[in-house]
Chain A
Amino acid sequence: MSKDIKVSTSHKGDIAVISIQGDVTAVTGEVIGNAYGSNDILNSPKILLQFDKDCYINSGGLASLIDIASEGRKKQQKIHAYGLSDHFQKIFHMVGLTRCIPIFTSEEAAMKDF
């Protein structure tokens, strides 16, 4: 089954960037997990999750993101996020995900605050 997600990785200085477009669900979580698990990302102390404002995120996707946050905590990584729609910013707050993945309103803010 094709996965309705596009994930790419890049670096901005010492920050590893994971860009996510599409569906963040239990089905696509593996794709994000694999991107996060690639060597250059996994060993980076700073990770920026760049979401698309049209992302569809459900509870299965939240579980995948919590897995990444949990791994990141073990590795003492800092993980920031930006680009989420107002709705998913609210959802991240409601479920307490912002405690481990703080969200920012712009890329600049997310990068500056590491």
Chain B
Amino acid sequence: MEQLLELHLPNILGAEKEAIKKAVIIAEKLGFARDRIEDLKTALAEACINAIEHGNKFDQNKKVRVTLAANNKSLEVIVHDEGEGIDPKKIPTKRVRDDGFPCRRGYGVFLMSNLMNEFYFEKNPGKGNNVKMLMHLNG
């Protein structure tokens, strides 16, 4: 993988838009189709928002690091925060309430894992949390 971008975002909601802008330029250069780029924008936004909210817990002394890398098969996005990592038990398994109405929250991971080709998270005790996502060039 060749690294194409490393960004350090302030830990404030809205900062994800900066990463999105830069990622779009890279994805366009790599030749991704319009609809795939839209998927990437949403997935990257959700990863950054989770990092800001759940990882760094809105602490403005902390940062979110976004790196993009690519090879001839895929674009890799890594979003790092300084938190404790994702507790898999906290990822909601249902998004619909018993009465059929959509739940209020719990869409980020669902969207990332469905919009990207691959989605992983790994906690490194004491070193923060990484969300890694891949989008394949051939669909």
Binding site for B on A (CB under 8 A): 4, 23, 25-27, 56, 58-60, 62-63, 66-67, 69-70, 73, 85-87, 91, 94-97, 99-100
B95 in contact with A59 (CB, 8 Å): no
Known A-B contacts A66-B104, A99-B100, A100-B102; the reply to A91 vs B13 at CB < 8 A is no
Q: Which of A4, A69, A91 contacts B42 (CB 8 A)?
A: A91
Taking CB atoms, residues of chain B closer than 8 Å to A96 are: 95-96, 102
Chain B residues with CB under 8 A of A73? 101
Q: Please report the total number of B residues contacting A with Cβ < 8 Å.
A: 24
Q: Is the interface of B mostly helix, strand, loop or mixed?
A: helix
- Give complex CA distance A4, B35 in Å: 24
Task: List 16 interface pairs A-B (beta carbons < 8 Å), by A numbering.
Answer: A25-B14, A27-B13, A56-B45, A58-B42, A59-B105, A59-B111, A62-B107, A69-B101, A70-B101, A70-B104, A87-B35, A91-B111, A95-B107, A96-B95, A99-B102, A100-B102
Q: Bound state CA distance, A66 and B107, in angstroms?
A: 12
User: Is A56 touching B17 in the complex (CB atoms < 8 A)?
Assistant: yes
Chain B residues within CB distance 8 Å of chain A: 13-14, 16-17, 35, 38-39, 42, 45-46, 49, 95-96, 100-105, 107-108, 110-111, 114
**Shortest Cβ distance from residue A66 to the other chain B in the assembled complex, whole angstroms:** 5
Q: Verify A100–B107 contact, CB threshold 8 A.
A: no
Q: In the bound complex, do residue A59 and residue B49 qualify as a contact, i.e. CB atoms below 8 Å apart?
A: yes
CB pair A25–B13 under 8 Å, yes or no, is: yes
**Cα distance A100–B13 when bound, in Å?**
27
Give the distance to chain B from A94, nearest Cβ to Cβ, in Å: 7
Partner of A58, one of B38, B46, B103: B46
Give the nearest-CB partner of B17 in chain A.
A56
